[in-house]
Amino acid sequence: MKYVSTRGTAPELKFEEAMLTGLARDGGLYVPETVPTMSHDEIAALAGQSYEDVAFTVMRPFIGAEFPDGQLKSCIRHAYEGFGHSVRAPMVQLGPNHFLLELFHGPTLAFKDFAMQLIGQLFQGALERRGEKVTIVGATSGDTGSAAIEAFRGLDNVDVFILFPDGRVSEVQRRQMTTPSEGNVHALAVEGDFDDCQAKLKDMFNDFEFRDEVRLAGVNSINWARVLAQVVYYFTSAVALGAPHREVSFTVPTGNFGDIFAGYIARAMGLPIRDLVIATNQNDILHRTLETGAYTKAGVTPSISPSMDIQVSSNFERVLFDAYGRDGAVVAEQMADLASGGFTISQGAIDFLRGQFKSGRASEDETMATIKTTYDTTGEVICPHTAVGVKVANEHLSEVPMVTLATAHPAKFPAAVKDACGRDAALPPRMSDLFEREERVTKVPNDLVALETLIRSKRRA
């Protein structure tokens, strides 16, 4: 299996190289050259299998011979053993034909654990075999950073530095980043906002001397291995509801387009998905793009679903590449236009996108109201991101079962949940001592030299 860049000029890479590289050298994102498909019978055979067994079958064709079967199986087993539910991604029912896929039973209580836990194992396996070490630096508005620290803590070949905006993440999110005690993970509180953290990260990748010296690696959602890990739960849930013998629809609370792009890949592999519905909060650039055909940046307005507060949705580039018949030059042109505000999608490409996706948005009031109604009618307490999904899913119900992705545990966003439905969302027992654990955090100025000096001095040689 080869991986090609969405901008058409970076070298083709194997799975492992694409994973360790992250962003392609031409600024594009890696995608598989062709998507392997599964037959009706192969999908039917997944019924009743464990999450781990389905994960192996679904991901195996995408992953090169660098990872032999035995090693891949062991990476998958270790990745999910810390989850608080033996099913890993269980479902509950919200209405006659509406199901909630709970993706928050991992160690940091958000769906990002599914991918991050696995790539922690895959990175360690690849680096040990190659005799290499890397320094992972990431920027986070909350969930990605905690998932990365949790996934890489204690690994020998990896040092991890997470930049988060000081004072602007929830207390649960901060404590998940600052309480792990392993010496290879470092939470850095940057004097600035999330955009400052992202800008400094980019500057580090562009400082080639620094980049090569510390062997910088990235694990944000442009990393193909993260998308791949998320394809699996589309299969487990659809098969549980009768696929491939009947169709299933999905609604996905969306920010950076990684999670819903995984659903698009599942469909391309042959899973009979009827509707793939993009659900956005008030930062509705993806919904507007599908409606108008123009991708136009507007300012970000902070919301109660902060993990979806973005205006540049990185993984959208991957689907745009397909919409333009895999013409990397056109994608590169559109991305250059994005830097100066936005771009207009061609008629052919927008027709393709409208054929693949539906969309909807939820305002802040609608999100709050959905938390309350869901609690009143089902007793389920849902997080604000999930509520955005449930609101939009309700507008797309049909005779086909609808699965809404529950992307985080309500206890990660206790204030919004309490405001909406009057309930305290309790942390699961396995992390009920989170507020007693000792915190370890380094405050850093919003300054490239200071950050690089700190990383050089703290990383293990």
Catalytically annotated residues: 112
* Distance between CA atoms of residues 7 and 27, nearest Å: 7
Asked if 112 is part of the footprint of ligand PLP (rule: CB under 6 A), the reply reads yes
Q: Least distance from C-beta 253 to ligand PLP, angstroms? A: 5
Measured between alpha carbons, how far is residue 308 from residues 247, 282, 284, 301, 333 in Å?
28, 9, 9, 10, 26
CB atoms within 10 A of CB 339: 10
| String marking each residue 168-207 x if it binds ligand PLP according to CB under 6 A | ----------------------------------------
Residue type (1 letter), 365: D
* Distance between CA atoms of residues 165 and 188, nearest Å: 9
Stretch in the footprint of ligand PLP (CB under 6 A) among 39-47, 69-77, 249-257, 349-357: 249-257
| String marking each residue 393-432 x if it binds ligand PLP according to CB under 6 A | --------------xx------------------------
CB atoms within 10 A of CB 39: 10
- How many residues make up the chain in this entry? 461
Q: Least distance from C-beta 126 to ligand PLP, angstroms? A: 23
* Distance between CA atoms of residues 217 and 204, nearest Å: 11
* Distance between CA atoms of residues 320 and 82, nearest Å: 36
* Distance between CA atoms of residues 258 and 142, nearest Å: 16
Q: Are 413 and 304 in contact (CB under 8 A)?
A: yes
Give the H or E element holding residue 163: strand 158-165
> Interface residues for ligand PLP in 254-313 (CB under 6 A)?
254-259, 307-308
Stretch in the footprint of ligand PLP (CB under 6 A) among 58-66, 79-87, 253-261, 327-335: 253-261
Q: Are 29 and 218 in contact (CB under 8 A)?
A: no
Number of residues that bind ligand PLP (CB under 6 A): 16
Q: Could you write out the DSSP letters of every residue in 183-224?
A: TTEEEEEESS-HHHHHHHHHHHHH-HHHHHHHTEE--STTSH
For ligand PLP, give the closer residue by CB, 76 or 222: 222
For ligand PLP, give the closer residue by CB, 254 or 289: 254
Report the residue from 4, 19, 79, 110 that binds ligand PLP according to the rule CB under 6 A: 110
For ligand PLP, give the closer residue by CB, 114 or 352: 114
Q: Least distance from C-beta 133 to ligand PLP, angstroms? A: 28
Q: Least distance from C-beta 315 to ligand PLP, angstroms? A: 7
Q: Least distance from C-beta 365 to ligand PLP, angstroms? A: 19
Cα–chain center distance at 388 = 16
Give the H or E element holding residue 418: helix 414-421
For ligand PLP, give the closer residue by CB, 88 or 459: 88
* Distance between CA atoms of residues 454 and 21, nearest Å: 23
For ligand PLP, give the closer residue by CB, 121 or 173: 173
| String marking each residue 128-147 x if it binds ligand PLP according to CB under 6 A | ---------------x----
Cα–chain center distance at 209 = 29
For ligand PLP, give the closer residue by CB, 45 or 338: 338
The distance in angstroms from the start CA to the end CA of the chain is 33
Q: Least distance from C-beta 281 to ligand PLP, angstroms? A: 9
Stretch in the footprint of ligand PLP (CB under 6 A) among 1-9, 158-166, 251-259, 334-342: 251-259
Which residues contact residue 179 at a Cβ distance below 8 angstroms, ignoring those fewer than 6 apart? 434, 437, 438, 439, 440
Q: Least distance from C-beta 227 to ligand PLP, angstroms? A: 9
| String marking each residue 28-57 x if it binds ligand PLP according to CB under 6 A | ------------------------------
Which residues contact residue 274 at a Cβ distance below 8 angstroms, ignoring those fewer than 6 apart? 247, 248, 249, 398, 400
Report the residue from 21, 221, 236, 251 that binds ligand PLP according to the rule CB under 6 A: 221
Report the residue from 107, 253, 270, 414 that binds ligand PLP according to the rule CB under 6 A: 253
Q: Least distance from C-beta 251 to ligand PLP, angstroms? A: 12
Closest CA to 103 of 277, 262, 212: 262
The residues that touch ligand PLP, with contacts defined as CB under 6 A, are: 110, 112, 143, 221, 253-259, 307-308, 385, 407-408
